[in-house]
Amino acid sequence: MSMQRSGSGWFETLLNNHTNISSNGEVFSVKVRRTNVSTIVETLDKVYNLDWFTSASKNECTAAVGLKWMLNQGLMQYHKEIVKYFNARGVSAIFLFRRNLLRRMISILANSYDQNAKLLNGTHKSHVHSPLEADILASYKPVINATLLVPNIREVEETTKKALEYFKSTRHIILYYEDVVKNRTKLAEVQEFLKVPKRELSSRQVKIHKGSLSKHIQNWNDVEKALNGTQYESYLYGDYRRTQEPTGWGTHQATLLKFWL
């Protein structure tokens, strides 16, 4: 389960780089698959049975099969039934958090802009595989509504807090996107959690918004003023400095869950 632009696409490419792991992407982006609880369960059954139909062509078995599920794709609405399904089927959850929600906001706005602008030769790409493509997409500097910035951050926190509360009874592991970027031993923890042989994992994806946030926001002074003196002030700083946890939340600032059987 994820919120858009949380690093989930990159993380999934790392998982799929493992010969014994198969993650099937954002399965519930198709609305008909999440019409009601019955269609959701039917879709989940199909995903978790895929290896029965595809394993004949593989050199190695699939030890962990899963999917990516966004919080706004029926997950919160039917959480009671979905938790029941997870626990009955032995599904495990990987929680991938993003500490810096300001960076996520920049990514959301830039990606939304490119859906219409199509900066890469008339083609929209949510993820890129070359530094040149990354620089082209990063050339767009969004304007952030400084008045709504703090309320928007709090709204994301509330949504993710609910998700964690809803799914706390599932077997899970907690990660931070920033920690995975700078410390690849975190990937070893994930593989141990999924009970697969430990391997070096790689991805061809290239990060789009690198370096200081001040060069990626058009109205930087307004944003800086809005966050200075708040519990989110640390979001203004470098790429992967540790940010302050939201008050009363501890380590539960989640923006991603992935599910495995």
| Contact of 258 with 23, CB cutoff 8 Å | yes
Task: Give me 254's structure tokens.
Answer: 């989640």
pLDDT given for residue 243 in this prediction: 43
Predicted confidence band at 54 (pLDDT cuts at 50, 70, 90)?
Answer: low
Element (H, E) at 92: strand 92-97
- Helix or strand or coil: residue 133? helix
Sequence-distant (6+) residues with CB within 8 A of 19 are 59, 60, 199
pLDDT at residue 249 is higher than 50: no
Please say whether the dihedral angle defined by the alpha carbons of residues 17, 181, 228 and 250, taken in this order, is positive or negative: positive
DSSP 13-55: HHHHTSTTEEE---GGGSGGGGSSHHHHHHHHHHHHTHHHHHG
Q: Which is nearest to 261 in space by CA: 48, 26, 67, 27?
A: 48
Predicted confidence band at 254 (pLDDT cuts at 50, 70, 90)?
Answer: very low
Per-residue pLDDT reduced to its tens digit, 190-213? 999 999 999 999 999 999 999 999
pTM above 0.95, yes or no: no
